[in-house]
Amino acid sequence: MNLSDVGESRVNGYLFVLQRSLKTFLPPDAVRDAVREIESHLRERMEAADGSPNERETVERILAELGPPLRVAQAYSAERTLEEAVTTGRLVPMFRAMWHLAVTTFAGFGAALGMFAGYFVGFAFLAIAVMKPIFPEHTGLWVDNATGVPHDFGMRFPIPSDQHVVGGYWVIPISLVAGLAIVVLTYRGNRRFLTWWRNRRLS
């Protein structure tokens, strides 16, 4: 179906709104590629249509099947971010992909909570390793004075009257190893979850 000037104006208006919507989610170079890809798909569907009962109804039907520009932009950016996260393994796309899944799916919300907890605990151990040489009397394993039972592991300001810190500078290598191990395991688990999610959607 060859579009008239009115049909072309309607399609171009849709693509203009789509481009503006994509700018909210993607960088400029990615926006251009996305608009070209979606426009190509849209043109192919227009050419395959027979234009009956009339051009206007055909154009509106195809645009309605494709979806509102904002929804298309959200879906496209989510798919692109997920693919980039799985392929490159970079942290920023992985965080963006997890954020999208967290606000749209129950499983993604649970995985995002696990990711946040893992990184929080890992970086907390790394912070202990950094702070031990600076505040040696405030950092380490805290033990109850009366019972001798360990209370917690970390930093305390001020020092509690009913507890005392145990542990010299051996706290530093233990905290470093534990922190790095937790961060690495969280990263791998996060990437594995995103890979599983992408394969699940593809299947």
Q: Say which residue, 126 or 158, is predicted with more confidence.
A: 126
Domain membership of residue 186 (yes or no) is no
Q: Where is average pLDDT lowest: 26-35, 123-132, 172-181? A: 26-35
Domain count, the chain: 1
| pTM score over 0.85 | no
Instruction: Report the pLDDT value the prediction gives residue 52, as an integer from 0 to 100.
Output: 58
DSSP string for residues in the chain? ----HHHHHHHHHHHHHHHHHHTTTS-HHHHHHHHHHHHHHHHHHHHHS---S-HHHHHHHHHHHH--HHHHHHHHHHHHHHHHHHHH--HHHHHHHHHHHHHH-HHHHHHHHHHHHHHHHHHHHHHHHHHTTTSTTTEEEEEETTT--EEEEEE-SS--TTEEEE--TTHHHHHHHHHHHHHHHHHHHHHHHHHHHHHHHH-
**Range with top average pLDDT, 91-100, 131-140, 158-167, 178-187:** 178-187
Reported as a single tens digit per residue, the pLDDT across 42-80 is 888 888 876 556 788 888 888 998 889 988 888 888 888
Reported as a single tens digit per residue, the pLDDT across 137-153 is 889 888 988 888 988 88
Domain membership of residue 12 (yes or no) is yes
Domain membership of residue 200 (yes or no) is no
Domain membership of residue 83 (yes or no) is yes
> Closest Cα partner for 191 from 68, 57, 98?
98
Question: Where in the sequence is the domain holding 39, given as residue range(s)?
Answer: 1-88
